[in-house]
Structure 1
Amino acid sequence: MNPDPEYTVSDTSFSSLNLPPTMLSNLADLGYKEMTPIQARSLPHALADKDIIAKAKTGSGKTAAFGIGLLLKINQRDFGTQALVLCPTRELSTQVAQEIRRLARFKNNLKLVTLCGGQSVGPQIGSLEHGAHIIVGTPGRIQDLIRKGKLDLSRCTTVVLDEADRMLDMGFYEQIDGVIRNTPKKRQTLLFSATYPDGIKKLSSDLQVDPVEITVESVHSTSQIEQSFYSLEKTKKPDALARVLSHFSPESTVIFCNTKDQCREVSDHLRNLGYFAAALHGDLDQRDRDQVLVQFANRSNTILIATDVAARGLDISDLSLVINYDLPRDPEIYVHRIGRTGRAGKEGMAISLYRDSEQYKLDTISEYLSQMLQTESLSRLKKTSTDEPIKPVMRTLCIAGGRKDKIRPGDILGALTGEAGIDGSVVGKINIYDYAAYVAVKREEARKAHSRLVDGKIKGRRFKVRML
């Protein structure tokens, strides 16, 4: 590897990169004003066609860091696959694909296809029949389509591994290796990872040629986050968790557990107490995963319980509280967990529950952060039996029609605010998937909106609608 010099870029404007005027104009329209550190450090090397191994956290702007150079190399007249982006989850694949499409608005007739597990393979094969310039997806599904002879990567000159550490955590090493063996030996390989475990170094040595190593601030700044560690002493964990939630009454909380079984147990416990909580873990099918993520993101659920792998790529703004129900062994994972609160200059709160036997984990985290950690007793938190859990401000309606039915967010909004007579101010986020759409509506107006959609039409058609 060739370590890149420390970040000393003085001109962070995109115009300093000698990009095409049409791309610069599109970047300006999208609100890309200045390059982030990862963009400023990696783009010059990416544009010079060098291999890169970059350490950067989620939310650092890394999609543009690899997407800009990737797009400039695409020849629209060649419908062979020229670029491949591998991601650990469908959610991250979808986010990456959406951002690349936005970045690609300056190019006409460019086709991007998303290929992920958890969905029917038939429509994906159909999407590939007429070729695709860019493929974004998960290693398992892409390898499956290569084996079926439905995907040809022989003309793929750019490969991106996004959140490579999580792909390794999920056991994708063999699939990644198998996929990339089907690409030309002469290619550009860009590897992005939040952490550098040994597996990443091996992956880089196996797949890259003389890569430039780039490291920007790889952890979320904890200066805006109030961290507290509560000793359980003789208190049972479920009771301790309920006490924390009752005392702080957060509007939105992510609770991290180390196992999917623990996620299910915590979710069941909180729902029995009246909390609007849902678990996100690897055993959920794709439809259920979509629903859990949508309901939390659009404020129809106040609590999300997740494992680290399941929560990867989760980007929720205005998150009030992160709770470590189980402390992780790795201090980097701890920092990435709590970094989901206190974003964009806002203050956040992170609370961890621990037993005396886990003191070594606190010591490791303290050393990693180079700061003393505040440990407290649960007895200082008020214990109430009368306070009811906060109800979410929104409720989600699920419509049995989506992108494949040519439904757009404006169609749903129009159906609600037009004939249905719902005020637009009560309508929240609208999420469109291939075969389903989700719309958040203020809780007090949800039943009215549901009945109006059931009795009405969207784009002249009737669709089944249910409240989640």
Structure 2
Amino acid sequence: MATVRRHSHCLESVVTTVKFSSLPLTPALLDNIASLGYTELTPIQAESLPLILDGNDVIAQAKTGSGKTACFGIGLLSRLDLTDFNVQAMVVCPTRELADQVCNELRKLARFTQNIKVLALCGGTPARPQAESLAHGVHIVVGTPGRLQEHLRKRHLRLDNLNTLVLDEADRMLDMGFEEAVSEVISYAPKQRQTLLFSATFADPIRELSRKFQNNPLTVSIENNHQDNAIEQRFFQIDKNKRSNALGYLLAFYRPESTVIFCNTKKDCHDVANGLEGNGFSVQSLHGDLEQRDRDQVLVRFANKSCSILVATDVAARGLDIKELQAVINYELPWDPEIYVHRIGRTGRAGNTGLALSLCTPQELPRVKAIEDYQKFSAQWDEVAPFQAGREQRLEPPMITLWIDGGRKDKIRPGDILGALTGEKGILGSEVGKIDIFDNHAYVAIKRASIDSALGCLRTGKIKGRNFNVRKSQWG
């Protein structure tokens, strides 16, 4: 069920199959879309895109993997005047990583249309080349709030011709403290424009942001009821002082290869991670106090399967998109059933099955009732048995991460690392996992059985003709 709301008036419609070819788009853009293999619209696209193409301001509830980038991307591309090399569309993102993803998607959508210029404006890279690119003319900019501020203040970036403004993952931008920066960036934009706001939740701060910057917006919300899909939900009633022991039992009984455990507070996040680590589990924590570099390291190791368990708060997990996540565990249920649905929706994606396991004390039973009402289903209850930590319960991650003291600034590419590992007397390419390259360092995941051979290859061999320091990651 998809609901489109405008002020207090509510329109409800059942999502039906809609093909891109039915939309009022130019033949060139339709050809681009078809070349990417897109035929039918996702639910968020089916509800939002017609409204966007009609020129409405839209506030849409959408998360990573829903097709939201193509949704606003097609909308802004449809309004471009290719003969005008002034900035006509701007997408504001909370992180450099998301901005890069959006840029790549926009370029793919526009790849068969000549002369469309898309530019990323993010921190962590020099500002001067960005200013030079702006001076030569750009149609679309995608950036983070701080770097956009910088270019606007220096008048490298001008928004006089802007017709479409997109705020992507707006809730995460607010969580990260970017509200003032976003407000300043928007202050440079013309009053007459289309403003599209995408957020995973519709909390009060998001509605306030919409009120300040949008004009009579239409609200689109796709309700995801998981009881009919690939996510198996189970609830476990426990005494308050048995919560940690019950968590150990769930991990030992179900033995998921990758698990995100959600806590409601940073303190619980820290305590749970320490307790699991003390019992021999492979675990890391993700919370709002982490520096960006530490956050990057945590996410790299979890995504490349060299750590099995990630303990996180809701705020820290914004934008988290881990492929093949097998289980989500609610150490404590959230107060808002919408947040519960958002949490468990991180598993069971792309045709995979997933587990959603929730611990609940008698005092928290009203939260379960709210979840039942929200999802229109009856909770399935199971029991937990006493847990005693032992080596037989530990599930070792299949991979170990190696840290390399060289990155983009050394012009290292994934192929250079793969070549150094699989050259003469090297390991098989099938033993090499995910490779992540940052400005000054890189990470590569290696199957556990091949880690010593991989270390030997990189320590005695060369990458791009140079020797780099290599070591096992801290949690490998």
TM-score (normalizing by structure 1): 0.88
1:111 corresponds to = 118
Deviations 1:405-455 (A, max 9, x none): 433323322232224622111112222333333222211112221221232
Deviates more, 1:176-185 or 1:357-366: 357-366
CA deviations over 1:219-242 (Å, ceiling 9, x no partner): 656642222222232643322222
Paired residues for 1:34-433 under 5 Å = 34-74=40-80, 80-107=86-113, 108=115, 110-116=117-123, 119=124, 123-124=126-127, 126-131=129-134, 133-143=139-149, 146-147=152-153, 151-218=157-224, 223-233=229-239, 235-379=241-385, 383=388, 385-419=390-424, 421-433=426-438
Partner secondary structure for residue 106 of structure 1: coil
Matched residue type, 2:181: Q
SS at match of 1:265: helix
Residues 77 and 457 (structure 1 numbering): CA distance in 2 closer, same or farther, change over 3 Å? farther
Q: How far does residue 335 in structure 1 lie from its aligned partner after superposition?
A: 0.8
Instruction: Summarize the Cα distance change of 1:224–1:23 in structure 2 as closer, same or farther, 3 Å threshold.
Output: same
> Deviation of residue 306 (structure 1)?
1.0
Shift of 1:464: 3.2
Question: What residue identity is the alignment partner of 1:111?
Answer: V
Instruction: Evaluate the alpha carbon distance shift between residue 387 and residue 160 of structure 1 in structure 2; reply closer, same or farther with a 3 A threshold.
Output: same
**Residue matched to 1:442:** 447
C-alpha change, 1:4 and 1:425, in structure 2 (3 Å) is farther
Gap runs ≥5 in structure 1: none
Give percent identity, aligned residues only: 54
Counterparts of 2:66 and 2:46, CA distance in 1: 11
Q: Aligned residue for 1:461?
A: 466
- Asked if 1 retains the 8 angstrom alpha-carbon contact of 2:372 and 2:379, the reply is yes
How big is each residue's C-alpha offset from its partner over 1:88-129, in whole Å with a ceiling of 9 and x where there is no partner?
A: 34443343333233333334462321425xx4xx62454334
Conserved 8 A contact 1:247-1:382 = no
Q: Secondary structure at 2:464's aligned position in 1?
A: coil
Corresponding residue SS for 1:196: coil
CA–CA separation in structure 2 for the residues paired with 1:260 and 1:147: 36
CA distance in 2, matches of 1:219, 1:140: 37
Equivalent pairs counted in the alignment come to 463
Structure 2 counterpart of 1:30, from 29, 36, 39: 36
**Residues 378/55 of structure 1: CA separation in 2 closer, same or farther (3 Å cut):** same
Q: Distance in 2 between matches of 1:184 and 1:395?
A: 51
| SS of aligned partner of 2:392 | coil
CA contact (8 A) 1:257 1:324 kept: yes
Show the counterpart of 2:3: none
In structure 2, the CA distance between the partners of 1:111 and 1:90, relative to structure 1 (3 Å rule), is: closer
RMSD between aligned alpha carbons? 2.9
- d(CA) in 1 for partners of 2:438, 2:37: 25
The unaligned stretches of length 5 or more in structure 2 are 1-5
Which of 193-202 and 70-79 deviates more? 70-79
Give the Å deviation of 1:304. Answer: 0.8
The letter of the residue matching 1:101 is R
- Output the TM-score relative to the length of structure 2: 0.87
Deviations 1:210-259 (A, max 9, x none): 33333333565664222222223264332222222122211110011112
Tell whether the 8 Å contact from 2:306 to 2:398 is kept in structure 1 after alignment.
yes
> Residue 299 of structure 2 aligns to which amino acid in structure 1?
L
Q: Map Cα deviations across residues 358-378 of structure 1 (whole Å, 9 max, x no partner).
A: 222222222222222234442
- Select between 49-58 and 73-82 the one with higher mean Cα deviation: 73-82
Report the Cα distance in structure 1 between the residues aligned to 2:17 and 2:231, rounded to whole angstroms: 31
Q: Secondary structure at the match of 1:314?
A: coil
Deviates more, 1:276-285 or 1:53-62: 53-62
